[in-house]
Amino acid sequence: MVVFPYLTALLRFGTKEWECVRLTHKIHGHLGIYSTLGAKMGIYARERLASPLSVVSFAGKTPPVSCLNDGLQMGARATLGHGNIEVAPSEKQEVKARFEGPEKNLTLQLKAQYASQVEADIRYGVEQYGHSPAYWKYVKTLALKYWSQWDRKEIFEEV
């Protein structure tokens, strides 16, 4: 059982993020990299804007990048049921979303150095493991690492 990264995430980033990311993982079905990043991004946007929020995601509808959408729903409290999240039609998938609040709007994206790290790590996992159970174990390890080490206030940039 992996406890240390969970505890590290709780102590570093607080109960709000810890509960949100755990809920995201439950609805997403596994500990995912992009869903974790989406939860962190959504929380950060809520901290910067007054609620209620509406969200436009640029993550597309194809995994793994589209998994960001699950995290955005939980983090920003923008759900399909409420009708306040949409996925922009685009050929390019990005770890990016536009958040609209009552007084101002904000567009956030994952900084290039973090995006490159995620892409390289996923590429390595696919090359080493294919999409075997070992790959999903590897993804879980990465998701825990990113969750417990990457601060939501540092990994995103406003564009």
pLDDT band at 130, cuts 50/70/90?
very high
Provide the residue type at 77 as one letter: R
Q: What's the total number of domains in the chain?
A: 1
Answer for the pair 26, 35: CB distance below 8 angstroms, yes or no.
Answer: no
Assign residue 36 the CATH number of its domain.
3.30.1330.130
Q: Evaluate the omega torsion of the peptide bond into residue 5 and state whether it is cis, within 30 degrees of 0.
A: no
- The whole domain housing 145 covers 4-158
Higher per-residue confidence, 6 vs 67 = 67
Q: What is the pLDDT of residues 66-121, one digit of tens each?
A: 999 999 999 999 999 999 999 999 889 999 999 999 889 999 999 999 999 999 99
Provide the residue type at 79 as one letter: T
Answer for the pair 60, 66: CB distance below 8 angstroms, yes or no.
Answer: yes
State the average pLDDT for the chain: 94
> Of 43, 39, 93, which is closest to residue 65 (Cα–Cα)?
93
Residue 53 confidence (pLDDT): 84
Strand 96-100 relative to strand 105-110, pairing: antiparallel
**Reported pTM:** 0.95
